[in-house]
A and B are shown apart, each in its own frame.
Chain A
């Protein structure tokens, strides 16, 4: 194969790739062949020494697609993209506000539930005290059975409040965990967007 045949063949094999890169590499191989010829090899020998067109082309293609993947994270906005972004803002901006509003209301609701649970706990405690105190009052005031019943109810509330306490603690912990997980999930989504672009 002559030098020209080699180079043309190689160029054809790389026809799908960015031509500035291809040109650079063709020049490189041309130089390599010519240097060998200068050393005393015949053109055929020089071309053979450099390698086969298919092998070299395969290597180059793999390399270029490799670096293309790595070169992706370029976060540059073209002028056109900026214009579109501004023009479309009534749409995407209001959608964004809606999404944030929904997320916020969900967040508030979650904590409202937690607060309600603690309120239940507090009311158990309240009833416990009330029952015991009131019952004692009744018992001492001449109505022992009513008093006893009230004290009993009060004690029951006290017991329930203990359960309620652990339940509320667990629920609060769960809520905090949930919020953390969601926050992390959102962060990851945003980061992935950056990488993909």
Chain B
């Protein structure tokens, strides 16, 4: 997949993973695993980027005798998810147009 496209999509994925409640690094990867593979280094970059874009906040808390970072979505982050849903409808329309006529798909 186009890297730029993938990057934008993975950003939204991570946001969705922390949409309902705050989460932490490994849990995000686990939650996404049935749908998409995410490596640690990719996740790190995404989390940093989202933090810079004010789409999530970070807090460090103690857990089982060690420190763990928790990520929580912001209103800006939620907005981005909604934006993505709208964008996706456009992509779907384009997809229907591109595959129009293939395999008897005549629905424009």
Contacts and interface: CB of A to CB of B under 8 A. Distances in A.
Interface of A: 25, 27-29, 31-32, 34-36, 38-39, 50-51, 56, 59-60, 63
Given A51-B40, A56-B40, A59-B41, A31 B67 contact: yes
B66 interface: yes
Contacts of B7: none
Interface of B: 24-27, 39-41, 44-45, 64, 66-69
Nearest to A59: B41
B41 A51 contact: yes
Contact of B64 (A29, A38, A50): A38
Given A56-B40, A60-B41, A63-B45, A28 B25 contact: yes
A29 B26 CA distance: 10
User: Which residue, B27, B41, B45, B64, has most C-beta atoms of chain A within 10 A?
Assistant: B41
B45 A31 contact: no
Contacts of A34: 66
Nearest to A50: B40
A50 B67 CA distance: 18
Contact of A35 (B25, B44, B45): B25
Nearest to B65: A34
B24 A35 contact: yes
Nearest to A63: B45
